[in-house]
Every structure is written in structure tokens, then in C-alpha cells.
Amino acid sequence: MSYVDFAEEHVAGVLRLCGAEGWPTFPADPARALRVLTAPGVVTVVALEDGAVVGFAQMLTDGEIQAFLNLVVVAAAARGRGIGTRLVREAFARSGAQRVDLLALEESTGFYHSFAHRTFAGYRVYPGGEPSDA
């Protein structure tokens, strides 16, 4: 297993993982996904096993204080082996930040509880009005 910075050659593997979770936003526009996975202030780390992408984490960071974990996913067949934990730790180490906020899906709260943490109420707001596809 290796943990490497995301590169364009990994985009198909990342989109496959999103598709398997039923997350349509990245697969809907692969060129846009590539841009957001490599945008300024974005840290994306992929887990590779025998050359295949088996997980990735995308984190946004100000580089000094605050990071936000946008996405983390591990292939269903590879879960429970510490890959998700390592992806979050690798992204955090590259971020330069001191702490990470995130929104959790109900079914993943057990994963986040495995880290040192504090809990807050979480919101996703749409200041411009809710879009039809988000």
C-alpha cells in the first residue's frame, strides 16, 4: 500500500470510488473533478494497492490553522484495514493546518469518533438558494 499525492492518472479510480458510493457530483463532470481535486488550497491523497486506487481523501486548507475534510472514501473490499485513518492522517500532515472540521454522514460517525475530536452542530447552507444538484 502506498499513499501518494493525487495526480491526473488517478482520476478514473477516484471517480469509480465515488460512483460506487452513489455520489454523482464528481462523475457527472470528470474535467471539473480533476480541477477541484487539484485546486489551490486542496490536498488530495490517494491510497494505491497494486497500482489501483483503493481510497482517497480530499482536504481544503488555509495552510496554517484550519482544514476541512471534504471527502474520504475507501473501496468497500478494503475497509477495516486502517486505510481511511491513514488517508486522513496523510492529508492532514500535508495540509499544514492544526485542526480539521468536517460534516459526517450518520453511518460514518463511528469512524470519526476513532480520532481525537470535539463535536459541533454541522450545517450545509446555500446562501444563493438551493441548487437542484447538490
Q: How far is the CB of 97 from ligand COA (least distance, A)?
A: 18
**Residue (28 or 76) nearer to ligand COA, CB:** 76
Binding positions for ligand COA, 84-123, rule CB under 6 A: 84-85, 105, 107-108, 110-111, 114
Cell of 18: 465515488
Site size toward ligand COA, by CB under 6 A: 18
Q: How far is the CB of 101 from ligand COA (least distance, A)?
A: 13
Among 74, 91, 97, 100, binds ligand COA (CB under 6 A): 74
Asked if 46 is part of the footprint of ligand COA (rule: CB under 6 A), the reply reads no
Strand, coil or helix: 32? helix
Report the b/e string of 90-116 with b at 16+ CB within 10 A.
bbbebbebeebebeeeeeeeebbeeee
Distance CA 72, CA 25 (A): 14
Asked if 131 is part of the footprint of ligand COA (rule: CB under 6 A), the reply reads no
Could you tell me if 87 and 72 are in contact, meaning their C-beta atoms sit under 8 angstroms apart? yes
Tell me the window of 1-9, 38-46, 77-85, 123-131 that interacts with ligand COA (CB under 6 A): 77-85
Asked if 71 is part of the footprint of ligand COA (rule: CB under 6 A), the reply reads yes
For binding to ligand COA (CB under 6 A), which residues are involved? 21, 71-74, 79-85, 105, 107-108, 110-111, 114
